[in-house]
Amino acid sequence: MASAAAEERRGIPAASFVEDVQTFLNSTASASDASSALNALQERLQHYKLAEMKLLAQQRDLQAKIPDIKKCLEIVEALQAKQHTGEATTVDFELAEGIYTQAHIEATNSVCLWLGANVMLEYPFDEAIDLLKKNLENAHSSLGAIIEDLHFLRDQVTITQVTIARVYNWDVHQRRKQRQAGTDI
């Protein structure tokens, strides 16, 4: 019998552990047809694999974004620290991929930040630091949620693979019984 604890996590359906294959097959539309049950389980397994690929891509993107946010936060904090000294700051920055140059930044009260989608806004240092800290916190919490989703998903994959093996083995056993019953007559 399938476990009644069918939950869902952020759109990922939970797999039910099958304790009794015969009861499981009787409860499905296949009514003891193991091949259609196996096809449905294989399809669910493919959905899990697709979801896993999407989550892994999101995880890679966030893991690449977090160091960029940290670096940007450090730069803004350094510019803010030099704000009251009145001296210019010399920085190296990337013009294009692999092409760097130096710039002299005069003391200023604001900084421009890329927000994405070709949008740049000018912020006072305090607001820029608050925004970057909030973005860093959101990125860390999103990464944590994705890691939890991946753990949940891997559990569902394991449960589904075990169910597939149990249904397949049950089907093989039933076919052997039928063959033996046919030769005993």
Query: Distance (Å, rounded) from C-alpha 125 to C-alpha 76?
Result: 7
Q: Are 174 and 38 in contact (CB under 8 A)?
A: no
**Residues 180-185, mean pLDDT to the nearest whole number:** 71
- For 80, residues 6+ apart whose C-beta sits below 8 A from its C-beta are 125, 126, 129
Name the CA radius of gyration of the chain, rounded: 28
Quick check: 47 pLDDT over 70? yes
Write the pLDDT tens digit of every residue in 71-104.
Answer: 999 999 988 888 878 788 888 888 888 999 998 8
Which residue is listed with tokens 């089907």?
171
In this prediction, residue 185 carries a pLDDT of 53
pTM for the predicted model, two decimal places: 0.77
